[in-house]
A and B are shown apart, each in its own frame.
Chain A
């Protein structure tokens, strides 16, 4: 049996969630439902200190995320700091608030890559999902600006039952915009997406059709030796074994939330665990020695069926957040696993997806008013 402190490597990936503020209202946002009650943000100096500590520990990949990270006026300073430290820096943005001048400024400051998220392949659906009338045109303009400035570009689409029929159009749009990578990320049901799961989850039939379309397009790209890479993240709700979430708890990924809370993944804030804050402890103590980060390291915490399972070193029992959301106890096996006593909850969600009728207007949109409702409980 592995004890928590065995073989803990450095955090190679640091995700800096600079702010929960965002001009969009996507109903699958991964931010906490009660984000409106976490409105403290680290200062520029505090962020630069976090970046410096993370880099000294071995972090090489850095994501600037949010919320919408462009809301932070000190972003150019943080980008320059990251470059000086030797990070490969990724800006993960909706494109709203971006301008051609900023795209150029960030390149000069040393930003390596920009990921622009889209909600759909056409303006009407895109803007309905984003809750913003001007979003699509702005995204198109900024995707072009990103390529014009010479950056590599990832285009990200969160896929759900209302846009999954658009795969062919989405891929054509991405090729047209010159994307280097396309991430088709089927909704993961945490945060706002969990609250909206019935209205978002595609049926198996929709999924099979979409996957076939993506594979056909991939084959065409390969035949043309086209460098665009298409990553299709399939929904684990249609799997029989859980994903190796975050490659293991506290194994590679370190997220720092806007208020300085350090988390093993961007969803973990929903767990009933006390996570440390970078304003109170050095990052090295947080990563290697805090109870929060050691909570699910190793496998001595596992109950059955994980404890005696010969696949536990492969999937680490799946996702703690999913176990918590679906069973009420984060120690349990991820119910995606067919060996889980709670797998019926996944089967019920699949059945519900076959019969769902909810429209976009029935979803709970991610905004401060709705967040305040969740804060009140």
Chain B
């Protein structure tokens, strides 16, 4: 949980008004992210640790309850896909 994730070089995260969604752009590809994936990746900046991201999101979405499990699972999958890397 102390590890710090950042997007790998060549990946860009941005909001797309036409799709009303956050997307992840990479060489010749694009993933449309659902609301929770978008909210997590928005905090991946190479500075916040996994633990800090959980705290930020729990404060922002108090009705969602504990988020540690969901955030770690998503970031693990994002790392497995080589979208992010650990500092």
* Nearest CB on B from A181, distance (A): 6
Residues of A within 8 A of B19 (CB): 10, 12, 58
Q: Is the CB of A60 within 8 A of B25?
A: yes
Tally of A-B Cβ pairs under 8 angstroms: 55
User: Which of B7-15, B37-45, B69-77 contacts its partner?
Assistant: B7-15
- Chain A residues touching B, range: 20 to 34
State whether the Cβ of A227 lies closer than 8 Å to any Cβ in chain B: yes
Q: Is the CB of A154 within 8 A of B16?
A: no
A107-137 contacts to B, CB under 8 A, are 112-113, 115
Q: Is the CB of B28 within 8 A of A112?
A: no
State whether the Cβ of B65 lies closer than 8 Å to any Cβ in chain A: no
By CB atoms of chain A within 10 A, which of B14, B16, B25, B30 has the most? B25
Q: Is the CB of A90 within 8 A of B16?
A: no
State whether the Cβ of A328 lies closer than 8 Å to any Cβ in chain B: no
Q: Is the CB of A86 within 8 A of B14?
A: yes
Residues of B within 8 A of A227 (CB): 8, 82
Residues of B within 8 A of A151 (CB): 9-10
Q: Is the CB of A150 within 8 A of B27?
A: no
- Chain B residues touching A, range: 10 to 19
From B9, B16, B27, B82, A60 is in contact (CB under 8 Å) with B16
State whether the Cβ of B87 lies closer than 8 Å to any Cβ in chain A: no
* Nearest CB on A from B33, distance (A): 13
* Nearest CB on B from A178, distance (A): 12
State whether the Cβ of A217 lies closer than 8 Å to any Cβ in chain B: no
Residues of B within 8 A of A238 (CB): none
Q: Is the CB of A113 within 8 A of B30?
A: no
Also in contact, A152 and B9, with CB within 8 A (given A57-B18, A88-B30): yes
* Nearest CB on B from A51, distance (A): 15
User: What CA separation (Å) do A377 and B26 show in the bound complex?
Assistant: 42
State whether the Cβ of B50 lies closer than 8 Å to any Cβ in chain A: no
Q: Is the CB of A61 within 8 A of B18?
A: no
From B9, B14, B27, B30, A12 is in contact (CB under 8 Å) with B30
User: What CA separation (Å) do A227 and B84 show in the bound complex?
Assistant: 11
State whether the Cβ of B23 lies closer than 8 Å to any Cβ in chain A: yes
A133-168 interface code vs B (CB 8 A; 1 in, 0 out): 000000000000000001111100000000000000
Also in contact, A112 and B10, with CB within 8 A (given A57-B18, A58-B18, A227-B82): yes
User: What CA separation (Å) do A152 and B10 show in the bound complex?
Assistant: 5
User: What CA separation (Å) do A61 and B30 show in the bound complex?
Assistant: 8
State whether the Cβ of A63 lies closer than 8 Å to any Cβ in chain B: yes
Residues of B within 8 A of A10 (CB): 18-19
State whether the Cβ of A180 lies closer than 8 Å to any Cβ in chain B: yes
Residues of B within 8 A of A180 (CB): 10, 27
By CB atoms of chain B within 10 A, which of A10, A63, A90, A113 has the most? A113
From A57, A58, A63, A150, B28 is in contact (CB under 8 Å) with A63
A93-118 contacts to B, CB under 8 A, are 112-113, 115
Q: Is the CB of B16 within 8 A of A58?
A: yes
User: What CA separation (Å) do A115 and B29 show in the bound complex?
Assistant: 13
Also in contact, A115 and B10, with CB within 8 A (given A58-B16, A227-B82): no
Also in contact, A154 and B27, with CB within 8 A (given A58-B19, A227-B82): yes
- Interchain residue pairs with CB less than 8 A apart (10): A10-B18, A58-B17, A58-B18, A60-B16, A60-B25, A88-B26, A88-B30, A151-B10, A153-B27, A180-B10
Give the top 6 A-B pairs by smallest Cβ distance, nearest first: A58-B18, A152-B10, A88-B25, A113-B27, A227-B82, A10-B18
A residues contacting B by CB (< 8 A) are: 10, 12, 57-58, 60-61, 63, 86, 88, 90, 112-113, 115, 150-154, 180-181, 227, 229
B residues contacting A by CB (< 8 A) are: 8-10, 12, 14, 16-19, 23, 25-30, 82
With A60-B30, A86-B14, A115-B28 given, can you name 11 additional A-B contacts, CB distance below 8 Å? A10-B19, A60-B23, A61-B28, A61-B30, A88-B12, A88-B26, A88-B30, A90-B27, A113-B26, A113-B28, A152-B10
